Structure 1
């Protein structure tokens, strides 16, 4: 079937026509290979997390629901964005037409922002469990379900407007993928992009930063009070601290270049950005679907103990349930009295 309104060789970029393809055929093939190297593991790792959770009831705990939700969102991004990027780059253009562009842009944005919001939910969950800002707190299924539902709802309400005229989805980078249109100078589009940036990036990042700062401070105080225990608490603190720093750095590397580029284009619409330069932030954000499960899930002993045998086609021989690094730290911290 002939695609409607095709975009041969990414013939539009930054709102203006281009006579020549932005990359050579070899360049498009190289991008396709790079994306395939990340998309394949992303699909495999996130699918493994979902499957082992369905198979092993020991993993169906409230604190793990957000991790599984992120795996679902990342899997969706890898399938709708990663696989299509591999195919379109190999083809050398976006071959699905205007309708396909809108559908891909909406799907990738929906899954991507849901994953981003889930990272913020995980940060809040861990802060409440460890820091207990409201006193004794038991994280239950209703809290986990609420966080998961909120991440999808927040993403949906801010990705639907372009389908109804406030903002729009358009080609980005070298023209082989689609996203919210950062280039249009139309006031309605600019207002949407500014709201989108503030509510779908700035707010999640602020939540992550505040939650993990509070978490690290609490663990530091516990470590100082537990120095008589031979440094066990200090060792646990350092493990969690390294994980938290890695999480924040991953968030910044994945999303800050993309958000910064979008904000730059909105602030200075006349800025000249080479297509390849505009594509790099897009790929960094999409590649987070591969290393998110490694950082957030496979550094968790509880998931790793089931997922690794599954991925290696081995049998699980576990007789009891291991606790994650964070849960171990929480247990060692529950008997401490935190300073005000």
Structure 2
């Protein structure tokens, strides 16, 4: 076991070799800054552009705020600098707060992406009857995302689960190793099943249903239908993109539960991909939705107006 200086607590993981620290730390800082800038740009677009006025945009805005909050409060300013220094720099209490915020924003992101996938199926069903889900359902869904995230994040602060060192042994997160107590093991298993596997299955099924229903030609569709189709394409790229970026961390969690020493390449990949996932929302929006692309480029004074159909 390794000890994290400034925490005075034994860590079940071995610290990263100094040969990797510089590369990982620099990557976290650069990708973190890019993620904050990108999500700040996207939030600004949602707040000031008249082009982004569909109710689904509230759910994407919620996800973007999650990514922005995680990057600033539970990301590179703390993890990147600590990895470069080779130790956690901010003390034991800040470690707990950092891990709590990381868990809060992380679980809220999972809930927000699941909500987006479910909403796409609902909208597809409602469009056939020429009605839309009411605004109240969207507001309730956003509140539900944060409430669910808080319910998963608070128990480790009450000794039901444990916040401590992460697999790099230089930062902090929820501990998944088998050396925790009985209550922590129960919490970890419930989180894995109900907070990880279940949402991943649900979002995959819903986005498959929504994208499949949009597979036909766009000929004859009105403007509203074209806008909704572009949003479905956006979410259809966003969901698998985020799942792909979260996959290394998921594999790391499962590996941790086996008690086998963690492979260094997986630790590095999981750490880097989690931070880099922040650029996925804006990448999906720019690639798949013409209105979003116009709104975001319009902030920079770049006109891309075209009378062509909405979408790609």
Provide the TM-score with structure 1 as the length reference.
Answer: 0.78
Alignment map for 1:97-176 (pairs within 5 Å)? 97-132=91-126, 136-176=130-170
* Residue 204 of structure 2 corresponds to residue 209 of structure 1: yes
- The two structures, once aligned, show a CA RMSD in angstroms of 3.3
Tell me how far apart the structure 2 counterparts of residues 245 and 214 of structure 1 sit (CA, whole Å).
10
38, 44, 59: which one aligns with 1:66? 59
What is the alpha-carbon distance in structure 2 between the residues aligned to residue 298 and residue 112 of structure 1? 24
1:23 aligns with 2:23: no
Deviation track 1:8-53 (CA, whole Å, cap 9, x = no partner) reads 8xx84326xx6xx5311x4212111111221111101111111222
Q: Unaligned stretches of 5+ in structure 2?
A: 221-226
Contact 1:38-1:287 at 8 Å conserved across structures: yes
Partner of 1:13: 11
Is the partner of 1:142 in helix, strand or coil?
helix
Partners in 2 of 1:64 and 1:131 — Cα distance?
18
CA distance, structure 1, for counterparts of residue 310 and residue 161 of structure 2: 42
Q: 1:240 to 1:133 in 2, by over 3 A?
A: closer
**Superposed displacement of residue 276, structure 1:** 5.2
CA gap 1:283/1:324 in 2 versus in 1, 3 angstroms? farther
Q: Measure how far apart 1:279 and its partner are.
A: 3.7
Quick check: 1:51 aligned with 2:44?
Answer: yes
CA separation in 2, counterparts of 1:109 and 1:92? Answer: 23
Is 27-36 or 189-198 further displaced after alignment? 27-36
Equivalence for 1:192: 187
1:59 and 1:303 in contact (8 A); partners too: yes
The two structures have a TM-score, normalised by structure 2, of 0.84
Q: Contact 1:42–1:289 (CA<8 Å) still a contact in 2?
A: yes
Partners of 1:143 and 1:131 in 2: how far apart? Answer: 15
Greater mean alpha carbon deviation, residues 191-200 or residues 77-86? 77-86
Check the 8 A contact 1:173/1:279 in 2, yes or no.
no
Q: Is 1:314 aligned to 2:309, yes or no?
A: no
What residue number does 1:233 align with?
none
CA contact (8 A) 2:95 2:171 kept: yes
Range moving further from structure 2, 126-135 or 102-111: 126-135
Kindly name which structure, 1 or 2, has the bigger radius of gyration based on alpha carbons. Answer: 1
Q: How many residues align?
A: 302
Could you say what secondary structure the match of 1:179 adopts? Answer: strand
* Separation in structure 1 between the aligned mates of residue 212 and residue 48 of structure 2, nearest angstrom: 37
Contact 2:164 2:174 in 1 (8 A): yes
Does the 8 Å contact 1:104/1:178 carry over to 2?
Answer: yes
Tell me which residue corresponds to 2:33. Answer: 40
Deviations 1:80-110 (A, max 9, x none): 2122222112222111121111111111111
| Aligned match of 2:224 | none
